[in-house]
Amino acid sequence: MARLRRPHPVKILVVVIIAVLAAMNAPVGAQTTSAPMSIGLMRCEYAVNPVGIDTRTPRLGW
């Protein structure tokens, strides 16, 4: 029966370092490519610019 060989500790260390560096770089790349968020076409009770609202719980949308 063949014995299973244990992985070399240096190989494990290299894989862990590469994974940590990749994880640290991921949020930076995502943050720089995102566009600024803006809300447009806001409505209240299906009206774009209502003068008065007669309901207690108005339906808001955009």
List the domain boundaries for the chain. 9-61
Which residues does the chain have with pLDDT short of 70? 1-2, 26-34
Q: What does the alpha-carbon distance between residue 5 and residue 24 come to, in Å, rounded to a whole number?
A: 32
Give the per-residue pLDDT at 53: 85
Give the per-residue pLDDT at 16: 94
Nearest by Cα to 47 from 55, 31, 23: 55
What predicted TM-score, i.e. pTM, was given to this entire model?
A: 0.37
Q: Are 61 and 45 in contact (CB under 8 A)?
A: no
